[in-house]
Structure 1
């Protein structure tokens, strides 16, 4: 059976935004709630390895099934979200990043190859990491995350871990 309502956490990684100016995080919440899901927490954290790791661990230890992160997926030295995920993940879901870059190519051309969008499994929590722009968030949410989340949670739960 595929779950209809899934509990989510949303985290924006940015040292230049706060909850009032966080358009991408707001869009994540809006799209999740419109699709019938529950957002348990939504935060903005700075581009800091320790704070990113703490938020990921908080989401994984909560009642959340999915963490959607935005920001920190670029090439600059301050973009650290993916680096933290790589250290913590139990499994990488490479198809997510591959499909995201393919879909992004239609909008932004070869710059799509520079994205480090990623999906991971940590314990039994799915973690999606999207670029920080609202357009990238909309693409990832509408084309990849929302259409597949129920089935993904079902697949994780088949083993009876929850």
Structure 2
């Protein structure tokens, strides 16, 4: 019996943008952003854009608006700012814009995180959904969290979700 209820989209190349939300990282120190890009490329996807923005809701939303105008983009992957510290505003900025949410993404991410880090996983506000025909994922900024989310959830389902979104 297959573990997937629908056939995958073999050979589908997904075009992505990677956005790191951080007040301190730059392209040289952004390990999590680099990991996301490396994993996307290794899985034969395209990284069309890479940005670092401050953890300011207006800047995060401006990036979503700007990137959503790019007709070539299928997916925008954010990392950072998903906790509950006062400067963690990524979830709040993204959630307000989403036209459809994928609650299962955050639920499964926290479940998988719990298996790795225990009860601290409750502090994650990972979220996913759709905005203007773009699939948006938001992960915590830690490299381990990024790798977990990409390898276990995003990469296995990204092409299928994009195809479903475009039906």
TM-score surpassing 0.5? yes
Q: Which moved more, 1:54-63 or 1:29-38?
A: 54-63
Moved over 4 A (4+): none
Distance (whole Å) between structure 2 residues aligned to residue 81 and residue 23 of structure 1: 18
Q: Which of residues 16, 27, 34 is equivalent to 1:19?
A: 27
- For 2:153, the equivalent position in structure 1 comes to 144
Unpaired runs of 5+ residues, structure 1, are none
- Confirm or deny that 1:113 pairs with 2:102: no
Output the TM-score relative to the length of structure 1.
0.95
1:154 Cα offset (Å)? 1.0
- For 1:81, the equivalent position in structure 2 comes to 90
Q: What is the number of residues matched between the two proteins?
A: 158
Q: Which of residues 45, 57, 62 is equivalent to 2:65?
A: 57
Secondary structure of 1:54's partner?
A: helix
- Confirm or deny that 1:6 pairs with 2:18: no
Distance (whole Å) between structure 1 residues aligned to residue 37 and residue 148 of structure 2: 14
Q: Which of residues 102, 115, 137 is equivalent to 1:128?
A: 137
1:9 Cα offset (Å)? 0.3
1:101 Cα offset (Å)? 0.3
1:60 Cα offset (Å)? 1.3
Output the TM-score relative to the length of structure 2.
0.92
Structure 1, residues 62-91: CA drift from partner, whole Å, max 9, x if none? Answer: 121100000010001111111111211101
1:23 Cα offset (Å)? 0.1
1:43 Cα offset (Å)? 1.1
Unpaired runs of 5+ residues, structure 2, are 1-7
Structure 1, residues 103-142: CA drift from partner, whole Å, max 9, x if none? Answer: 0011110011110000011021010000000000000000
CA contact (8 A) 2:60 2:94 kept: no
